[in-house]
Amino acid sequence: MFRRIAGVGTVIASLTFALVGCGAQGGQSNNSMNMTGTNMSGMSDTSTDQKITVTDGTGAKVVLSNPATSFVCLDPSSIEMLKDLGETNIAYDHGDQSFVKMVFGADAKKLKMIGGSWMQPNVEDIVADHPDLVIGDAYPHAQLKAALKGVAPMYLISRSGGYKQSMKDLINLGILTGHQATAEREVNEFTAHLNSAMTKSPQNQTSLIIWGSSPTDFQVPTVDDPSASVLAAISKYPWGGHGAHGMSISLDQILKVNPDVIFVESIGRLDNSNAPTLTSQLASNPIWNQLKAVKDHRVYEVNPDVWHSDRGGLGLEKILDDAMPKLYPNLFTKQ
């Protein structure tokens, strides 16, 4: 896990070269974003005299003849990434309305929606939108590739790989849209923010994230998850494992670790803002009430649109800003 991450943010050129050439390289240490190298600030944002090629989160090559300017986003985090890059010609899954309102505010009504569900988007709606690029989650949208062949290239984002993979995705989308320099600035801003938080953090608190919609249906994201990887950089986060999904884990297992602070993503509220919080549903459980974080009143409901759905630079910065005062309140107490 990421107990301490040294030298996270300097210059991101080596990462960008890797993405343009053949995608993210394997074998990187979990202790570094590996972003040192030659400064690329003098490079142009766009390239129209040759094919634009990147490697997505599944290892597949995505090739465009020209920078993309219209998009169908099946994954909510790509919506924020595109907005950060200055792109707004976006159609999105109707289930992401609350996320789009959070990102775009009053301008959310200008964006188009497609039908279907997150698991099974309406392919006819995607085709009718004539996008330059379709962006989805590696799970479950890889299955749409065959149906969209000849319609639009597809870039698949992987939830695995923590925040480092999220930053690679942001760089890739910057390349595909002709906004590489903007993407680089966004990555550098996030890494500076993370380094600042890491410098302040005493790393003496054990944290936990749980997500779910009922007391019998909740999971713990591993350090492969973007939000969990951020917590692992600024606290002890002993919930290892690999993969895009959370671990099914019992309250008895959580009690054995007995974390100091618990962050709760009530994902039922993504679809229904009036749904009961997961915290309120766990309140009558005697094992839950034995947890140190519960006894010390250090259980915090967090915005699932940010913590669960948002993997962009601004979203990860929000997680840092949410988590640091709750993990280390003494650092933020006015003298």
**Backbone φ, ψ for residue 241 (5° rounding):** 120, 170
Average pLDDT, the chain: 84
Q: Encode pLDDT of 255-302 as tens digits.
A: 999 999 999 999 888 878 889 999 999 999 999 999 999 999 999 999
What is the Cα–Cα distance from 99 to 93, expressed in whole angstroms? 10
Q: At 8, is the pLDDT very low, low, confident or very high (cuts 50, 70, 90)?
A: very low
Interval 169-198 mean pLDDT: 96
pLDDT of 244 reads: 56
Q: At 240, is the pLDDT very low, low, confident or very high (cuts 50, 70, 90)?
A: confident
Q: Which amino acid is at 249?
A: I
Q: Which amino acid is at 225?
A: D
Q: Encode pLDDT of 87-109 as tens digits.
A: 999 999 988 998 999 999 999 99
Instruction: State the number of CA atoms in the 13 A half-sphere of 248 facing the CB.
Output: 4
Supply the angle between the helices 226-234 and 313-327 in degrees, to the nearest 10: 40
Interval 299-314 mean pLDDT: 90
Strand order in the sheet with 71-73: 112-114, 90-93, 71-73, 133-137, 154-157
Interval 23-44 mean pLDDT: 36
What is the pTM assigned to this prediction?
0.82
Q: At 5, is the pLDDT very low, low, confident or very high (cuts 50, 70, 90)?
A: very low
Return the CATH superfamily for domain 202-332: Nitrogenase molybdenum iron protein domain (3.40.50.1980)
- Structural element, H or E, at residue 33: none
Residue 136: left if φ>0, alpha if ψ -120 to 50, beta else—which one?
Answer: beta
Q: Give exposure, 131-148, as e/b (b: 16+ Cβ within 10 Å).
A: bbbbbbbbbebeebeeeb
CATH 3.40.50.300 correct for 13-196: no
Each domain of the chain, given as residue ranges in start order, spans 13-196, 202-332
Equal CATH topology for 13-196 and 202-332: yes
pLDDT of 271 reads: 79
Decide: 132 and 71 in contact? Cβ < 8 Å: yes
